[in-house]
Amino acid sequence: MIEDYGFGHMVINGRKYTADLKIISDRVISDWWRREGHRLHIDDITDIIDARPEVVVLGTGAFGFMKVPSEVVDFLEARGIEVVVEKTKEAVKRFNGLKEAGRLVAGAFHLTC
């Protein structure tokens, strides 16, 4: 579960992270950076796709600056993966709610803009 999120930081299991990250199962991959900074590409999340979650939650930043093109969403949905795209504060709430509901969820979160 994600315990806290604020601009530029996230707390997971008592540990504070200050760079973009992915959560796959119970593993946190910190210092995640995308091929094109504020635009998500399929190859930025291949480890998530390989994990075969039911749902992928994508946090686009505090102000939603990270763009998630429709081709990424279409690619995931074609593989039977539900996709949630929200500004990071809302994405955290959705991620935690899905986790609490027992869903197999993965997440990728832009922590700043």
List pLDDT tens digits, range 61-73.
Answer: 999 999 999 999 9
Give pLDDT, residue 31.
Answer: 87
Q: Is the pLDDT of residue 99 over 90?
A: yes
Given a cut of 90, is residue 37 above it in pLDDT? no
Summarised one tens digit per residue, pLDDT across range 80-93 is: 999 999 999 999 99
Is domain 2-109 classified as CATH 1.10.760.10? Answer: no
For the chain, give every domain's residue range: 2-109
| pTM score of the predicted model | 0.96
The answer to whether 88 touches 109, Cβ cutoff 8 Å, is yes
Give the span between the Cα atoms of 55 and 105, in whole angstroms: 5
SS3 78: helix
For 48-57, the pLDDT digits (tens) are 999 999 999 9
Eight-class DSSP state of 94: H
Q: Which residues have C-beta within 8 Å of that of residue 45, sequence separation ≥ 6?
A: 22, 56, 72, 108
